[in-house]
Structure 1
Amino acid sequence: MRCLLLLSALLGPAAGANDLASLDDEFDARPALGEWTLFHQAFGWPDKIKHLDIGRTTPGALNLQPQHSAWVRDLNAPFLYREISGDFDVRSRVRVRGAEGAVPGGTWSLGGLMARVPNRSTAEQWQPRRENWHFVTTGVGHVAGQPMTETKGTYNSYSSLKLRPFGTGWVELRLVRVGMALVAMVRAEGDAQWQVRDRWYRMENNPAMQVGLIAYTTSDDVAPAPEDAERINRQREADARTDMMLEVDWIRFRRPALAAVPDWYAQVSANPLADTGLSDAEVLRLLGD
């Protein structure tokens, strides 16, 4: 009952016609990205994409292979995005693997969905502690050879992550924003049920977010060193060997089943998706399939 009362205060009617459908991409073979924005081009950073094509390397899919890079704290890596105003429910069917096997080589080789709060921190005007984003990825984390999902939330460039075991092969990833709440989900190939992988609540009134696909990996050819984000972001490790590719069969956008009322007080006082007492099963029921 309490949940229903909170919902009536927070939420408007469920989404009707899908005004985000034009952002969908089935990644049919073509020579160019089309309407996607590349993060490094938009903000003046070096290109850390080792390889990118649609339909040639992986028939019917986007194939993205990053150079040595990372999305963590102030560091950036390859990112293809659309800018979305308001709430969204984005899903994608992806696979992360190595050139010769089902698991990418090395460590911290992951790819998937990210939603980033835009800022004015270009390469020319870069300042630290400006990064705010959330993601859900699949691949390999800290331990080589062990497939995982990773979820990560970053607030003013402070990153907090979770690694959880998961299988290899194709997987559906899902990232939902309802007001100031975000939910990350995964669904293994052939499964009917989504699994909630993470839930975040952030005081973020910016209606716009950059939403799309990320990929990052590490190379043993790069010697460990103290993290200097400005130096690392400005250099390319083009000769460092890596073994990771993100394949994306499709990505689809819609408005969530729940529609948040655009009122900050309703968000901070009654957003049910921010309630830690709400079970994953209830989250899934509210957000639907």
Structure 2
Amino acid sequence: METPVSNAPAANGSAGWQQYFDSEAALASWQQLEIPGWASKWRLLKIHDGQLVLEPKSSGWFEDNYGGLLSRELTGDFIVTTRLKVEGTADALPQTAFSLAGLLVRKPREFRAETWRPGQENWLFFSTGAATEPGTPQFEIKTTYQSTSTLKIFPAQAGWMELRIVRQEEIFSLFYRYDGQPWQLLDQFIRPDLPATLQVGLTAYADWPSVAEVYPDYLRYNRHGTPTDHADLRATFAWLAYRKPLVDKPLPLATLRPEQWQDFTS
């Protein structure tokens, strides 16, 4: 079910919306990143108990390696928020390195398996799970320009949380909030190269060691997946919400005081 966000009027007069994953019909307006001739990166994608459950195969977004993505196209400035929980399939948290899920923003590309060329990926993401320390809650943020990826890892908490990406022109601000706690600003990216219209949505990926077995043979990985698959991540998404920022002024990169976040965290 998709409902208007009545308490968050958009600056340009357009309404926001909140997508609840309460039925299979909720996925009708979302697009999977599927390239004919390439291996699927999902082991499981389903609606269960009114929530979206993603279990990836061994996969990852890095340079020209593709992971799974469920997205919609958004144009202009936006605030996108999701509520999610990341677990292991057999443990409280994944036990394989770089097993996380969250929000991804990507420049759209049109190609087929036979016309794909490396060096043209442009995106950023904000995810939670276990990164460099399997079994330990962490955030991963990554920005990729022309298929060159740069990442940062931060400590996190396990359990339900909300992740948010705010776009204002070329500035992308990344917020998180644990249940019962205030919003926190984690980091910001400056991406003047990204176009007005972007793919924005949900991703989940896992088990970098299996991906590393064929890295950096991007074409082999994208077409055939990994030789082994030890992915053990389950991501549960309750909803995803979209609205326009309430103000037009970009969030400043300097002097990041909580009172300056008000229009982006309400």
Name the TM-score, length of structure 2 as normaliser.
0.88
Report deviation, 1:157: 1.0
Q: 1:104 touches 1:243 (CA, 8 Å); kept in 2?
A: yes
Q: Unmatched 5+ residue regions in structure 1? A: 1-12, 261-271
The answer to whether the aligner puts 1:15 opposite 2:5 as a matched pair is no
The answer to whether the aligner puts 1:26 opposite 2:15 as a matched pair is no
Q: Per the alignment, in what secondary structure is the counterpart of residue 40 of structure 1?
A: coil
Partner of 1:112: 102
| Structure whose CA Rg is larger | 1
Q: 2:141 touches 2:151 (CA, 8 Å); kept in 1?
A: yes
Deviations 1:199-230 (A, max 9, x none): 01112362100000000001666673441111
Q: RMSD of the TM alignment (CA)?
A: 2.3
Identity of aligned residues (%): 35
Stretch of structure 1 that moved more, 163-172 or 97-106? 97-106
Matched to 1:30, the amino acid is E
Q: 1:178 touches 1:258 (CA, 8 Å); kept in 2?
A: no
Summarize the Cα distance change of 1:86–1:227 in structure 2 as closer, same or farther, 3 Å threshold. same
Matched to 2:81, the amino acid is R
Aligned residue pairs total 258
Q: Per the alignment, in what secondary structure is the counterpart of residue 234 of structure 1?
A: helix
Partner of 1:279: 256
Summarize the Cα distance change of 1:225–1:256 in structure 2 as closer, same or farther, 3 Å threshold. same
Partner of 1:214: 203
Report deviation, 1:35: 1.2
Partner of 2:3: none
- Residues 114-153 of structure 1: pairs in structure 2 closer than 5 A: 114-153=104-143
Report deviation, 1:190: 1.7
Partner of 1:242: 231
CA–CA distance in structure 1, aligned partners of residues 147 and 170 of structure 2:
18
CA–CA distance in structure 1, aligned partners of residues 130 and 110 of structure 2:
31
Deviations 1:219-263 (A, max 9, x none): 666673441111111113486232111100111111112236xxx
Q: Per the alignment, in what secondary structure is the counterpart of residue 259 of structure 1?
A: coil
Report deviation, 1:141: 0.2
Name the TM-score, length of structure 1 as normaliser.
0.82
Q: Per the alignment, in what secondary structure is the counterpart of residue 236 of structure 2?
A: strand
Partner of 1:40: 34
CA–CA distance in structure 1, aligned partners of residues 161 and 265 of structure 2:
18
Q: 2:10 touches 2:16 (CA, 8 Å); kept in 1?
A: no
Summarize the Cα distance change of 1:92–1:32 in structure 2 as closer, same or farther, 3 Å threshold. closer
- Residues 156-175 of structure 1: pairs in structure 2 closer than 5 A: 156-175=146-165
Considering fraction of residues, name the structure with more helix: 1
- Residues 60-79 of structure 1: pairs in structure 2 closer than 5 A: 60-79=50-69
Matched to 1:284, the amino acid is W
Matched to 2:42, the amino acid is I
Q: 1:151 touches 1:197 (CA, 8 Å); kept in 2?
A: no
Q: 1:187 touches 1:194 (CA, 8 Å); kept in 2?
A: yes
CA–CA distance in structure 1, aligned partners of residues 85 and 167 of structure 2:
23
Report deviation, 1:181: 0.8
Matched to 2:217, the amino acid is D
Partner of 2:246: 257
CA–CA distance in structure 2, aligned partners of residues 204 and 221 of structure 1:
32
Report deviation, 1:159: 1.0
CA–CA distance in structure 2, aligned partners of residues 88 and 109 of structure 1:
27
CA–CA distance in structure 1, aligned partners of residues 150 and 210 of structure 2:
26
Q: In structure 2, which of residues 85, 90, 113 is the aligned counterpart of residue 100 of structure 1? A: 90
Deviations 1:72-127 (A, max 9, x none): 11111110000011111000000110123321121110000011011234423111
Report deviation, 1:280: 4.5
Q: Per the alignment, in what secondary structure is the counterpart of residue 20 of structure 2?
A: coil
Q: Unmatched 5+ residue regions in structure 2? A: 1-8
Q: In structure 1, which of residues 44, 51, 58 is the aligned counterpart of residue 44 of structure 2? A: 51
Report deviation, 1:27: 0.5
